[in-house]
């Protein structure tokens, strides 16, 4: 299965990510490309323990089951998966190229993951292997959203 922890898989994502431009129009969803990049930066910060979020109540009941289902194969994430409210971006802030470089740096960081307690607001505690597969799927999902 694909994982962002694998150099070949990570580099393929980085090539796709590097082709994004600030004027892209989404194939689905409500975010523009700048909002999507900021959303992905925030998601990476949550996964790396740099951004704190509260656990979602339903996640306590269904999070582990949903995670296992989501990372069980290489099928892309469905288009209708809801976004955590803490990761919804109203204003992307900095310029697109600066944000894109920040996201690239965060993705490259998976070459040398820092041991931490990975806690997703919905899925709960995650192993590094689960994070690797989920990070690949999340990045792939949003690149597909913009035709990459």
Helix (H, G, I), strand (E, B) or coil at 124: strand
The domain 7-145 is placed in CATH, from the list 2.30.30, 1.20.120, 1.10.3470, 1.10.8, at: 1.20.120
Question: Which pLDDT value is given to residue 81?
Answer: 85
Q: The pTM is what? A: 0.92
Q: Are 118 and 126 in contact, with CB atoms under 8 Å apart?
A: yes
Is 19 exposed, middle or buried, given 0-12, 13-18 or 19+ CB atoms closer than 10 A? exposed
CA pseudo-torsion sign 20, 25, 26, 27: negative
Question: Which pLDDT value is given to residue 55?
Answer: 85
Phi, psi (5° rounding) for residue 125? -65, 135
Query: How many residues appear in the chain?
Result: 148
What does the pLDDT look like over 62-100, one tens digit per residue?
999 999 999 999 999 999 888 888 888 887 667 899 999
> Is the model's pLDDT at 125 over the cut of 90?
yes
How many Cβ atoms are within 10 Å of 67's Cβ, its own excluded?
20
Helical H runs in 71-122?
Answer: 96-108
CB neighbour list of residue 59: distance below 8 Å, 6 or more residues apart: 66, 120, 121, 122, 123, 124
């Amino acid at each position: 299965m694909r994982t962002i922890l694998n150099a070949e898989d990570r580099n393929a994502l980085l090539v796709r990510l590097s082709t994004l431009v600030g004027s892209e129009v989404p194939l689905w969803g409500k975010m523009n490309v700048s909002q999507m990049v900021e959303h992905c930066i925030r998601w990476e910060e949550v996964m790396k323990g740099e951004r704190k979020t509260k656990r979602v109540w339903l996640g306590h009941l269904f999070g582990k089951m949903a995670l296992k289902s989501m990372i069980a194969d290489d099928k892309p994430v469905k288009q209708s998966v809801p976004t955590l409210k803490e990761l919804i971006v109203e204003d992307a802030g900095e310029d697109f190229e600066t944000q894109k470089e920040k996201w690239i740096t965060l993705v490259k960081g998976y070459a040398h993951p820092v041991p931490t307690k990975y806690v997703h607001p919905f899925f709960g505690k995650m192993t590094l292997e689960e994070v690797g597969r989920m990070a690949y799927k999340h990045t792939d999902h949003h690149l597909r959203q913009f035709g990459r």
